[in-house]
A and B are shown apart, each in its own frame.
Chain A
Amino acid sequence: MKRLPVLWLLLWICAVYSVGIYLFVGGFLLVRLEVNRTSTCGDVLQPGEEPADFCRVRPRFRRAVLLIIDALKIDFAWFDPDNAAPRPYENKLPVLEETVASRPAHSRLYPFRADPPTTTMQRIKGFTTGSLPTFVDVGNNFASSAILEDNLIHQFGQDLHTVDNGILQHLYTTMVGDDWDVLVAHFLGVDHCGHRFGPDHPAMADKLTQMDGVIRSVIDRLQNDTLLVVMGDHGMTDTGDHGGESQKETDAAIFLYSPSPLFSSPPSQSEPDVVPQTDLVPTLALLLGVPIPYSSVGQVLLPVFPPHGQTEGAVGGLSQLEALWINAKQVNRFLETYSGMAKDIPPESLSQLKAEFSRLSSEYLATVQQGRPPPPQLAASLQAYLTSVRDTCRATWARFNPLKMAAGLVILALACLACLVLSELSDVLLREDGPGLRGPVVAALAAAVCAAAAQLRSRGHVEAVWCLAAAAFSSELLFLWRARRCGTAGGEKSGPGGAGWPTLRRLLAPHLLVPLLRCASLLSDSYVIAEGRAVTFLVFSLALYIPIRLNWDGLLLPPSHDPLKAAGILPPPALAPSTVRKEGFTLLACLGLLVGVLYLSLSFHACREEQGACQPSPFLSPLSRLQDSRLKNLHYVLSVCALALWTYLLRRFLRHYGNLNAASGAVFAARWVLPLLSVCLALYWAVSATPEDSFRNLAQLIVLAQRVLPRAAFCLVALGLSLIWLDPLTVFTKTRAAASTRSPPPPPPARYRASTGISPEAELHHLIPQIYQRMRRSLDDGELSRGAEEAGRPAVEAYGLGTVYTAPLLLLCGLLGVGLLLLHPEGMALSFLLLMLEMGALLHIHASSSTLSGPHAACAGGFNVPWTTVVLWSLAATQFFHATGHLPTFPSIQWGAAFVGFPDGHTGTVLPASLVTLNTFASHILFSVACPLLLFWPLVCEVRGGRAGRAGGEEGEDAVMEMRLRENPRQFSSALLQLSTRYLFILGAQVFASVCAAAILRRHLMVWKVFAPKLMFEASGFLVSSASLLIGVTLVLRVDVAVGRWFKRLIPDASR
């Protein structure tokens, strides 16, 4: 068996996928370092000439009202009296223009442009809060007491007015009171209406008219010390969407008003054309007399500050120049902090900015110390400095990086293709003369070096991402090219039936149609929201397809005695009718089990906030939160029963196949570690469900147990896993004569001595069957010593050899499952039991259907796992992701998992992060680790068919169960590679689909609510799955090594 090539190929394909994901995500989610500092009133800004900069003077305004009208486009705010036939969205907010015209010193209307840093921040923070972070930040910074944030953002199917009406009631009642500093009201109706009907619709006219009324009544209620800001957060396109970068989307409106004079001069030439969104925060801060937020890069809006020398006349506050000076110092401080943390700002522009600031500061300080009026160009240069800082930051934190996104897409697409090719040509690729990985790896290295050199020459620094991209791309291309060459060569040899171009007919075959539908469903927000049920639907459909297909081929039922047979239409049946009946029954029974499990698993789902009428599963809340003690006991008993059944089923399987007899590490794990782990878990559940006040004198003990029990369980899992790894063989060997004594084995029978001269392989061919025959006989009859007619046979009996690969893998899954269950709420034990049952049902369906169709689908080797099964397996992983209470949204992450065993929290971040990852992707991990079982199960179940069932004509000396794999090492390795690559292909195709969804729909209204989180979950799920798959495959290879050693040890024994 070729172990290393299989592993290398899998590692390579996983690496290529990861590079693609990394590139795309890097271009899609621009991450900028967040400076986690806050400004305070006492801050001393460098150069520190003044004692304190913020809060130095009495603020102009005591309070502010922020009316955020979502998607208030600037076109909605203009008023054109000459427009005779206004469109639905035009001239509907006359209050703004009327106020500006009648009270020019009190109000102003500007276009308000969304700025890249803001958008970036929105993107990143939008993940965790789902709200408008900039404005929430404003609120937080001002220590506001009333934030009327509405978190029903973009709810479809809602009445347009209910959301806003709810806010209105609150708004007016709050405004009357006096216990607030900043009032933020966020009206979603306009945005909502835009998405639903577009701006050019009568509904928009109604909505804007309503907003006009709102603004009017707020203006009426304002007091003299209050500032009113009416603004939109972005505009909208002609279709009512936003999120992109066209001017229609970025240009919103901002309207400032105060009952006391706000502007010192009437509107003039020096007015800004457009106010960038970043400018609002520093302006508001200085007007309200609070520190400018630490990370703000905006510049103050000059017209609201009086020019130098007029401050005395005004109510108070800063002059234009003072405001600019404070602003510049604050921006400089941020720039210094930021450039100390992150290196993404180009050094030359950084030093230029620093030089400019020191020049300006010396000039300003000189002016102030000499007490002479400042030169008029000083304010302009300060403004220019602020603008250039902002532009530098904007250039650094640009929006999407389309180049990286495209490169990621291409690499992912090629990786999917390579994976498909790998699975189709797994046999050819593993041949001696087949194309190895050496070429692609060398090409990758060369391309990486070239990319680095090119970057050094052109830009002066190296971005590692592009080196990775070049490496992945070139290795993929080379691999595909060589695979194509040898694929055509191999295809000619093997004749037709190889991988051809997909025709419509092939695409409509359910095993391709279902994954296609699944991938297509990732492009629709509705289907992503309803993913749990959609996947269950698909699993059910595909599972039903298996018996229907078998029946269509006439394989499900034993051929009846009808004239068909006599007419000779049907080929003579290859399987005995009794076998067919039995296998058919098994298949239908397992299908029934599967269907039942599918249906029950629906009751463990959690709810997304978009799903209106949805009740989260009662099993999702931990026991300690349940109030009713009877219900609590019931849940506890159910969970413990599920856990016990999990352990029992696992041990039952191992015992049935004779894997619990040997004295090896894996057997120890199965016999002792697994039950102990379950007991540990059950005790932990009991302890954590105990209310703290019920046993006062035991409180200390309970607290201790809450810490110790999970840690002990972690240690047990680790112990079990390492035992399985170190000593995976579960084969119990004994010589028949020496059954009672411990004497060395007796001299082997003559039959074996004859074969000593031949190669070890030839000996293997003899030995394995003999051993296995013995083993099975003793298993079947339960008696260890059979009559004397066996005297001629070798005197070695091996128990559990037939499931030598399956047993450790299954044990690994069992241990991992209990370990992962520890991180979940107790009620999920039932779901985990369902998961195991579904795995079993799928495996048995696969085994039965391959037995039933076996002689007909006689491929070389016969170990190939069909697409249908692999698709089912991968869909089941997604299905149980949902059925263990997870959702592809950030708020639904079960953070509690990080505190299992660590109730006081952690010091680092690695451990909690990995605990949460393990919790989130538990189902992905289990299904991926167990994936190689698909290869073994038909062989394991073979014994059920009985001797009569197997292809007749052979003399029963055939190797059986998993020893077949041992006998055909080449087919074994190619089948293992094929299975893994098929699984990876389906997972990769899903990642590719969600990447496409994010790329295509990046202007979609749901992108930050649905598609981007889905992409992140799908991508991390892929990474976790591929790592787990590699673990599973590696364990199989490890077992293979151990089996090889075992045989080597046995043969010298037997032939001495």
Chain B
Amino acid sequence: MWDHEIRAMASTHAIIAASVFMATVLPAALVRGFSVYSTHLLWLYSVSGAVTVVSIAVFWLLGITPPTKKHTVGYKLSRLFRSCLYFFLSCLFFHAVVVLYGAPLIECALDTFSLAVLLTSLTTLRCLCVLGPNVQAWIRVFSRHGAMSVWDTCLQITVACTLVGAWVGAFPIPLDWDRPWQVWPVSCSLGATIGFLTGLVAAPAWIHYHRKQLTYKCK
């Protein structure tokens, strides 16, 4: 019965994944000396920018974001402002979490913050797009009975995959292999991106195979 929605989701995800791909390939053609390892921050910002822009555009076009109750310009502006604020706060939050996980506090602050920006654009931004600037709804979504639509379930899966990817990405750092991708924060941001891409693939597939069990009472 949700074939339509699943198809929409799959195509959305394909577009986002393509944007990640393009964000990796295009700068390589435009900027000299661009590579994922050596100019890592550039790649990172290019990916997070692309994902941000494409996600906002796609979700806005699809009209998944919950409709605003009031239609005044002032309300819309305050919503926009709150979204930006939450985006920034989420960057700070991820930065703090990453530092507490053992990232250097001062030396690589810019790298750590860039990783936080990437994580925010892969996770929080999606929450903003799907649920609007409503932290309580975000917390509610991440519970067993909290998903109220296919998009909520999809959000759960992609966010979990991204965060687990970033977490797993920290594992190779202590190894003494001397590879370029072991440098902080390359492995973590790669892990997050790979996790995100996995989530993009896994979410429609999982929903497709479990569509019988999924019941959303209210929407």
Contact = CB atoms under 8 A, between A and B. Distances in A.
Interface in B157-185: 167, 170, 174-176, 178
Nearest to A534: B174
Given A536-B102, A560-B136, A526 B174 contact: yes
Interface stretch (A239-247, A351-359, A595-603, A831-839): A595-603
Given A537-B102, A598-B100, A567 B144 contact: no
Contacts of B136: 560
A567 B145 CA distance: 12
Interface string A547-576: 010011110010010011001011000000
A548 B142 contact: yes
B140 interface: yes
Contacts of B139: 551, 557
**A interface, over-half SS:** helix
A602 B102 CA distance: 9
Contacts of B217: 563-564, 567, 569
Given A524-B175, A569-B217, A540 B101 contact: yes
Given A156-B176, A533-B174, A560-B136, A554 B143 contact: yes
Nearest to A602: B102
Contacts of B143: 551-554
> For chain B, which range describes its interface: under 10, 10 to 19, 20 to 34, or 35 or more residues?
20 to 34
A156 B101 CA distance: 26
Most A CB contacts (10 A, CB to CB) among B102, B146, B217 go to B102
Contacts of B142: 548, 551-552
A537 B139 CA distance: 24
Contacts of A548: 142
B218 interface: yes
A157 interface: yes
Interface string A595-626: 10011001000000000000000000000000
A527 interface: yes
A533 B144 contact: no
Interface string A268-287: 00000000000000000000
Interface in A609-660: none
Given A541-B167, A557-B139, A563-B218, A570 B145 contact: yes
B144 A554 contact: yes
A784 interface: no
A534 B174 CA distance: 9
Contacts of A570: 145
Given A156-B176, A599-B100, A537 B146 contact: no
Interface in A448-495: none
Contacts of A526: 174-176
Nearest to B140: A560
A530 interface: yes
Contact of A564 (B101, B145, B176): B145
Contacts of A525: 176
A525 to B, nearest CB: 8
B45 to A, nearest CB: 26
Contacts of B174: 526-527, 529-530, 533-534
B177 to A, nearest CB: 8
Contact of B100 (A530, A553, A564, A595): A595
Contacts of B145: 554, 564, 569-570
Nearest to A596: B100
A157 B145 CA distance: 51
Contacts of A529: 174
A611 to B, nearest CB: 10
A295 B151 CA distance: 77
Interface hub of A157, A534, A537, A541 (most chain B Cβ within 10 A): A537
Interface in B196-218: 217-218
A552 B144 contact: yes
Interface string B131-143: 0000010011011
Contacts of B99: 599
Contact of B146 (A157, A534, A554, A599): A554
Contact of A553 (B101, B144, B175): B144
A459 B139 CA distance: 71
Contacts of A534: 174
A598 B102 CA distance: 10
Interface in A509-554: 524-527, 529-530, 533-534, 536-537, 540-541, 548, 551-554
Interface pairs A-B: 9 shortest CB-CB: A530-B174, A554-B143, A526-B175, A567-B217, A526-B174, A563-B218, A156-B176, A526-B176, A533-B102
Given A526-B176, A552-B142, 16 more contacts: A526-B174, A533-B102, A534-B174, A537-B102, A541-B101, A551-B142, A552-B144, A553-B143, A554-B143, A554-B146, A560-B136, A569-B145, A569-B217, A595-B100, A598-B100, A602-B102
12 contacts: A537-B170, A551-B139, A551-B143, A552-B144, A554-B143, A554-B144, A554-B145, A563-B217, A564-B145, A564-B217, A567-B218, A570-B145
